[in-house]
Amino acid sequence: MKKILKNKAALIALIFILFVTAAAVFAPLITPYDPSEQNLPQRLSAPCAQYFLGTDDLGRDVFSRMVFGARISVSVGVFAVLLTVLIGVTIGMTAGYFGGTADAVLMRFTDIVLCFPTFFLILLVIAFFEPGIYSVMIVIGLTSWTGLARIVRAEVLSLREREFVLASRMLAVSRLRLLFVHILPNVISPIIVYAAIGMGGAILTESGLSFLGLGVQPPAPSWGQILMQGKDYIYSAWWLSVFPGIAILLTVLSFNLTGDFLRDILDPKDAN
Amino acid sequence: MANTLLEVKNLIKTYDREEFFSTKKFLALDGISFCAGENTSESFSVIGSSGCGKTTLAKIIAGLIEFDFGEVKFFGKNIKSYAPREFASMTQMVFQNPYASLNPKLKIKSSFLEAFYGAQKDEAYKIIEDTLKKTGLDAGILDKYPHQFSGGQRQRIAIARSLLKKPKLIIADEPFASLDVYSQNMITDIFSDIRKNFGISIMLITHDISIAKRFAQRMIVMDGGKIVADGNYDDIAGAKENKYIYDLISAMEL
């Protein structure tokens, strides 16, 4: 707790994440307008008292759309990262603990996924399923677990030879208990760090996909989508691209800073 | 021989050593044979320099790693034919590094209760309390985490844990190596108590012949994966034609 107060950047990043999350959760309470309510006479109006982040080409309030967009970005981030952690930890722990053939097969599979051009894989999955928020979550989850699997495997590999694990084995402790009570809690810190940085990555990928029209479909507002709509008006209506851009930038930056901070405090070498 | 605590017969263990484009076999144990504890408990030490295979031997006897050839028997029964729980009350191990011997995320209580999986809780606590008393530990330690203890205390806790299953043999792999002199003496005292009060045999693995000499009559000297001498101090001192023993004895006489 003391450490976070000392680390100003991490503190600000964490406050910003809480702020974005709160905005996502309480979106209907915060927004002055419905995100898809059109006001055509006021289309492309610059930031003013009535629409303080301006309106888009259909006269929709950019601020309201961005707050609802936070909902999509945060939920895509959370679910994609949950999927990433689930796959990465399962594969990493199985490979690391059982070793031998299981390790060889799982790690070669990981290498194959790692070698695959991620964007091609994403396009492939979206070609098979419909583009939309769920496809985006699944696609990001399915492509970003490889690094985590490698980290977890390496940790488990060294933990299973640790004295306390051997001592528990000598007490005839079951394999499940060894894995979930002795090994998993001791690899939790790299997993948390990976998840925090992965959140930023997932939000960025979602924005990229939505920008290309392959992610969240209109009229649902997402940051990448607002950005895409704004690109046609970038010279005349800068607010359409700049505000969602800033939101993506700050959110991703905040998750990365938090990830770095967590790595620093969870690293046992720095703990003392 | 059903009355013999431990029999090791012609034990051979190789490790694979990966080199650039090939895997070479490295012979860690090259035909180890000895018996211990015929009709009675017997404590002894295994002496050897690092890399001589003494930890490998300990882990094989503890059932933690596989071996290529040979036999290990407790009371005439092959260790591979013991059920895991049954084997747990045959032998337990105390490790060199007390800082890694206890799970940092678990209270001492949870680590201790692992020995009593499936047993009655009251009974388990009774045995735990009894063991704590005999190892000079306070019942208050149970609700603490490992990081709240010093190295010496952790080693004492690890020893207490190894006693919970009431094993016949405790294998202690360099239990003093990372401790200060005060803690070393404390642990040595605990071990002699265990031998006297519990009647448990102890196999002490060490590289220090003076500790071995103080610890027990019998010493087994290993070098290059083989036993080069087995007997009391005088027997070993008599085998000075072996280079390693010569070095050991002369280091002792300095």
Per residue of chain A (272 residues), give pLDDT as tens: 667 677 788 888 888 889 888 888 887 777 777 777 777 777 766 677 677 777 777 777 778 888 888 888 888 888 999 999 999 999 999 999 998 889 999 999 999 988 887 778 778 877 887 777 888 888 888 888 999 999 999 999 999 989 999 999 999 888 899 999 899 988 988 898 888 888 888 888 888 888 887 877 777 788 888 887 888 887 887 888 888 888 888 888 988 888 888 877 776 544 43
Position B63 pLDDT exceeds 50: yes
- As a whole number of Å, the end-to-end CA separation of chain B is 42
List the Cα angle A252/A257/A263 in 5-degree steps.
125
Q: Which strand ranges, in their side-by-side order, compose the sheet holding B44-47?
A: B91-94, B169-173, B201-206, B44-47, B218-223, B226-231
Kindly provide the residue ranges of all beta strands, DSSP E only, lying in B19-163, ordered along the sequence: 23-38, 44-47, 69-74, 77-78, 91-94
Q: Dihedral of the CA atoms B192, B198, B200, B202 (nearest 10)?
A: -20
pLDDT 10s digits, B196-231: 888 889 999 988 888 888 888 899 999 888 888 888
pLDDT at A271: 43
Phi/psi class of residue B183: alpha, beta or left (left: φ > 0; alpha: ψ in -120 to 50)? alpha
What CA–CA distance (Å, rounded) separates B138 from B234? Answer: 41
Position B110 pLDDT exceeds 70: yes
User: Residue A141 in contact with residue A82, Cβ under 8 Å?
Assistant: yes
Interface test with B, best of A164, A186, A191, A267 (most B CBs within 10 A): A164
Helix, strand or coil, per DSSP, at residue A78: helix
Map tokens 């259909």 to a residue: A58
A168 contacts chain B (CB < 8 A): yes
Contacts of B96 in chain A (CB under 8 A): 163
More confident residue, A82 or B37: A82
Please return the burial class of B199, using the count of CB atoms within 10 Å of its CB with bins 0-12, 13-18 and 19+.
Answer: exposed
pLDDT at A94: 93
User: Residue A66 in contact with residue A244, Cβ under 8 Å?
Assistant: yes
What CA–CA distance (Å, rounded) separates A195 from A175? Answer: 26
Closest to A219 (Cα-Cα) out of A60, A43, A102 = A60
The residues, any chain, with a CB within 8 Å of residue B127's CB and separated by 6 or more, are B116, B164
Q: How far is CA B130 from CA B127, B134, B159, in A?
A: 5, 6, 14
Kindly provide the residue ranges of all beta strands, DSSP E only, lying in chain B, ordered along the sequence: 4-18, 23-38, 44-47, 69-74, 77-78, 91-94, 169-173, 201-206, 218-223, 226-231
pLDDT at A255: 87
What CA–CA distance (Å, rounded) separates A36 from B71? Answer: 78
Closest to A170 (Cα-Cα) out of B194, B37, B141, B114 = B114
- The type of residue at A202 is A
User: Residue A164 in contact with residue B102, Cβ under 8 Å?
Assistant: yes
What CA–CA distance (Å, rounded) separates A219 from A240? Answer: 15
User: Residue B70 in contact with residue B8, Cβ under 8 Å?
Assistant: yes
Structure-token pair, residue B82: 């013991």
pLDDT 10s digits, B70-89: 999 999 889 989 998 889 98
B144 contacts chain A (CB < 8 A): no
Q: Which domains does chain A have, with CATH numbers?
A: 2-31+50-271 (1.10.3720.10)
pLDDT at A130: 76
Q: Is the Cβ pair A170, B92 closer than 8 Å?
A: yes
What CA–CA distance (Å, rounded) separates A224 from A203? Answer: 9
What CA–CA distance (Å, rounded) separates A166 from B100? Answer: 10
Contacts of A172 in chain B (CB under 8 A): 84-85, 87-88, 117
Helix, strand or coil, per DSSP, at residue B27: strand
Q: Is the Cβ pair A172, B87 closer than 8 Å?
A: yes
- Looking at the complex, report in whole angstroms how far the Cα of residue A228 sits from the nearest Cα belonging to chain B: 48
pLDDT at A1: 61
Identify the closest residue of chain A to B102 by CA–CA distance. A164
Closest to A215 (Cα-Cα) out of A143, A122, A145 = A122
- Looking at the complex, report in whole angstroms how far the Cα of residue A171 sits from the nearest Cα belonging to chain B: 5
pLDDT at A54: 74
Interface test with A, best of B97, B103, B154 (most A CBs within 10 A): B103
B106 contacts chain A (CB < 8 A): yes
B155 contacts chain A (CB < 8 A): no
A271 contacts chain B (CB < 8 A): no
Q: How many CA atoms lie within 13 A of A11 on its CB side?
A: 8
pLDDT at B26: 86
Q: Is the Cβ pair A170, B62 closer than 8 Å?
A: yes
pLDDT at B128: 92
- As a whole number of Å, the end-to-end CA separation of chain A is 15
Helix, strand or coil, per DSSP, at residue A55: strand
Question: Which of A36-45, B47-56, B177-186 bottoms out in mean pLDDT, i.e. has the lowest?
Answer: A36-45
- Print burial letters for A82-91: b (CB count within 10 Å at least 16), e (below 16): ebbbebbbeb
Closest to A156 (Cα-Cα) out of A80, A81, A83, A103 = A103
Identify the closest residue of chain B to A272 by CA–CA distance. B147
Position B7 pLDDT exceeds 70: yes
Interface test with B, best of A155, A162, A165, A171 (most B CBs within 10 A): A171
The residues, any chain, with a CB within 8 Å of residue B213's CB and separated by 6 or more, are B219, B233, B252
More confident residue, B183 or A36: B183
- Looking at the complex, report in whole angstroms how far the Cα of residue B171 sits from the nearest Cα belonging to chain A: 11
Class of domain B4-253: alpha beta
Size of interface A-B (CB pairs under 8 A): 62
Helix, strand or coil, per DSSP, at residue B1: coil
- Looking at the complex, report in whole angstroms how far the Cα of residue B132 sits from the nearest Cα belonging to chain A: 18
- Nearest by CB to A173, from B91, B95, B117: name it: B117
More confident residue, A86 or B48: A86
